[in-house]
Structure 1
Amino acid sequence: MTSSPSDTQAPTTPANLISPSQTSNSINLKWDASQDNVGVTGYDIYQGTTLLTRTTGTTYTVTGLTPQTAYTFIVKAADAAGNVSNASTPLTISTLSPTADTQAPTAPKNTAASAITDTSVTLNWTAATDNVGVTGYQIFQGSTNIASTPSTTYTVTGLTQNTSYTFKIKALDAAGNSSPFSNTVTIKTLAVNDTQAPTAPANLTSSTKTDTTVVLQWSAATDNIGVTAYDIYQGTTLVGSVGGTTLTYTVTGLTASSPYTFTVKAKDASGNVSAASNAVTVTTNATGTVTAPAWAPNTAYALNAEVTYGGVVYKCRTAHTSLNGWEPPNVPALWLKK
């Protein structure tokens, strides 16, 4: 009995290695079939010196590549006996540039509010989708973008108690495309059970007067939460209101050579009202005359307040508290000579 002779003949070298097509992250390879005395069983695909795979056909697509990058490939043929051909002619080919992403994500859905307190609210929404991937969300309070987050929940803080707010969400992708707005959710923060009134405004004075006007100024009141407004009274009649950070008011429409008594009260957001300030009684000037008080140090002067110094009248250009050495002639940035 005789044994079959062993096969030691390698296949012919694969010829005409080409790349019919490429993308930004893949390269398609194609070559002519090799010949073998018994039969070719497969082809080994190399990227540089690294064996990627063995395939039985004469085409193969290499994936997972980097955009705009050159790669070199060779192919070897193998038979059943383990004989391997010489390498094909190397092919160097580059992947393409990535395709620009101009498709925006879908709008987030089902925006809702929970855990509402007097100063905060938690927003939740259903995730948006994108052809590449959503990278984050923008939170809008009204028309203002107040924050960004990669998740589908966000807690807004620093709100004012007993106040209405509207919120909506946009989705973003890595290319900077932004989605349409989500649905809008409107909430009202909780009211704090605040029963503590502000302190009474102090040091109510009149800095300037004419025959028909009186300029009032006072020291700020304090409150456990915050002063929101000041009400100015002429006797028992409310004649005006200013915001919680304004400490001056000009009463107009008065009669010449007439006495008037004024007080000021502070208010907070819960409607608590302070006791009245000290009362100040001012007599308006005779028609056509203006009387300005003498300048003094350590005195709070409001914008447009008038003083006399050295027989000259000066008008305040910037609200400030005077100091020794800040006499009107010495600080033209604070006082304008009339």
Structure 2
Amino acid sequence: MRRVPVLVPVLCAVLALLSSCAWSGTEEEGGRLPAAPTGVTAAAGSATSVHVMWNAVAAGHGIRGYEVYRGPTKVKEVPGSAHMVDVTMLRPSTAYAFTVRARDTDGQLGPPSKEARATTPADMAADHSAPTRPGRAEGRAVGSRAVQLSWSGATDDLDVVSYDIYQGDTKIHSVGASQTATVVTGLRPGTRYAFTVRARDAAGNLSPATAAVRVTTPGTDDGRGTAPTAFRATTHPADGAYYLDLSWVPPRADGVVAEYQVQLDGRPATSLVYGGSPPRDRATYSFYLGREAGVGHRVRIRGRLPDGTWGGFSAERTVTTGGRG
């Protein structure tokens, strides 16, 4: 019996000159895809909502955002600075499965995470009474980048379903009713934080917030890792006056920096808040200095990071009205 030659390996070797015969889906023309998010959890927040959380994904070009799926359907999209979301408009007493995918700043969408499952409780539509305020909220630093929070349980005329944790005015975490402690991660060394806790029932009623728990993480942060870079400052004349022209590269942060503070001669001079899509590459800004020539100024800038704290100041520049800066 005549043997038939095996051509597949030869063909694959030839095609490998153009593309991989065993493409794994982990790379595209734009580069390696973001990894699948890990640590995905889902917990019912009310009869019609589920709180989904995940760990941040590292990517060479940065993460632009995350997409959250309920089964095969995309239900939420959040910026790269967010690692949690409340999925709403769900049905009571229903089981759901969620996955999360990361999209990088090149627009590439990574693979889905492992499924996280949650079941919403029964509807309590007639419930208009909020739970009591959780008590004895306390906190302590766990290393330089995490804080452990604890509180005593709240009560409700029916049932407490979850506890929401806030950093300042922003909800940053949620845990089930059986938990009265949690660890908040992703913090900065040497930074003061304030946290509060609120209880939520199945109807979505929120309790009053606890007294603020204020914790300062240990260590030092010289700000260099969170400061704007390539900072430049010049002046230009216009209509008999002088203006300060600034440009910089936004700090690398886990998310988008949309607010900046300009410090002039050691004091806050002005601030700017970008709406829409803040610049990710080089940013620019100009403002009025005065009408007198030959006046020297020192200027630097810092951004408010996605976690709500201020980043480090840029290098300080010296300019002179009517001069080259």
**TM-score, normalisation: structure 2:** 0.40
The answer to which structure, 1 or 2, has the higher relative contact order (CA under 8 A, 6+ apart) is 2
**Over alpha carbons, which structure has the higher Rg?**
1
